[in-house]
Structure 1
Amino acid sequence: MVKKTLIGLMAASAATVALTAPAHADQAVVWSLTQQVEPGGQIQAVVFAEWEVGCTPAGPVTSRGFTAPLKWTEGGEWGRHAGYTTAGRRPGKYTAAFPCTDGRKATGSFTITGTPPPGTTTHPKPTASTPTTPKSKPTATATKPAKPAKPQVAVKPAGAPQTGDGTLG
């Protein structure tokens, strides 16, 4: 229910912008795209072709952050085109785009939230061409290695009174 309400609010705010803006061939396309998603979550895109700044899609929405291109599978009033796809597993910010039949290209961005999976790094590993910190050379004032500890001498009891004779008193 909340998701449908948010989609309705996004469409209403986009309609307000579309109805007040003049139409120009070089004007950016107004469309909506899920802004944040968990890795492997569902992403939705919606565009209204009959709005002044909308467009009729000429192909799917593509992105490196998708597991497959988003195909337009739903239609509706105002030339509505909508579709769904699945987000990839690698967190980060991604760009998505699709072509319009009038020659414009619609672009948008979204974020896959979370932390990178184990074993991935955001920094490159050092290579032969990457400078590394040189190891320090030993100096004449270097400390001497520690002497090994002497083994402890076992104490032998002097006789029966110190160890007991084995009888119970």
Structure 2
Amino acid sequence: MLKKVMLGALVLGAAQLAVVAPAAATTDPSWYLGPTPLGPGEQIYAETRAGAGGCVPKGPVTSPGLAEPIGWTIGGNFGKYGGYGRVVKKPGKYVATLSCTDGRKATRTFTVTGVPPSSTTKPPKPKPQVTVKPAGAPQTGGGAFAPMAWDW
């Protein structure tokens, strides 16, 4: 009787594991890419934490919107992987891809904004300062012997 119960529990556990394992492999790994929007050539940051819903990266973050792929130069607790990169100078909306060692891939979008047009009007020249002779203690007698406000 005990063998039948143990065998049943083992089969049930194996069936549950078979259902859960593929679902876990298809989840999108948690990772951050930002800030967004960015100006042309500005710095962007990527981070994932393998121990907190992320993954162990298989390689750098890639995108046509990056000047070069973002390598993982920062490590930390909970399997933290982080790195900085620069975006391209061409404005547009771009997609970055993170590949994981377990086969998962995830994407994030970011935007590179354009440079505001330069103004064609010249700023006004500052007005010249008026020269004023100093009026302080030496010119007014210093005020050491002047009556105080309560000496009326």
TM-score, normalised on structure 1?
A: 0.53
Could you tell me whether the CA contact under 8 Å between 1:43 and 1:86 is conserved in 2? yes
Runs of 4+ in 1 over 3 A off after TM superposition: none
1:75 deviates by 0.3
Matched with 1:109 is 109
Matched with 2:97 is 97
Q: Write 1 or 2 for the structure with the bigger share of helix.
A: 2
Identity among equivalent pairs (%): 49
Could you tell me whether the CA contact under 8 Å between 2:37 and 2:111 is conserved in 1? yes
Q: Aligned partners of 2:26, 2:42: CA distance in 1, in Å?
A: 33
1:25 deviates by 0.8
Can you list the C-alpha shifts for 1:78-100, whole angstroms capped at 9, x where unaligned? 11000011110011100000210
Give the secondary-structure state (helix, strand or coil) at the position aligned to 2:59.
Answer: coil
Task: Give the CA RMSD over aligned residues.
Answer: 1.7
Which structure 2 residues correspond to residues 23-102 of structure 1 after superposition, within 5 A? 24-34=24-34, 35-51=36-52, 53-102=53-102
Q: Aligned partners of 1:101, 1:116: CA distance in 2, in Å?
A: 41
Could you tell me whether the CA contact under 8 Å between 1:91 and 1:116 is conserved in 2? no
1:113 deviates by 1.1
Unaligned runs of 5+ in 1: 1-22, 118-169
Can you list the C-alpha shifts for 1:21-49, whole angstroms capped at 9, x where unaligned? xx711001111001221100001001001
Could you tell me whether the CA contact under 8 Å between 2:68 and 2:85 is conserved in 1? yes
Matched with 1:122 is none
Q: Aligned partners of 1:110, 1:116: CA distance in 2, in Å?
A: 19
- What code does the residue aligned with 2:37 have? Q
1:115 deviates by 5.1
CA change 1:64–1:56 in 2 (3 A) is: same
TM-score, normalised on structure 2?
A: 0.59
Which structure 2 residues correspond to residues 111-150 of structure 1 after superposition, within 5 A? 111-114=111-114
Could you tell me whether the CA contact under 8 Å between 1:90 and 1:116 is conserved in 2? no
Stretch moving more, 107-116 or 87-96: 107-116
Q: Aligned partners of 1:61, 1:78: CA distance in 2, in Å?
A: 19
Aligned residue-pair number: 94
Which structure is larger by alpha-carbon Rg, 1 or 2? 1
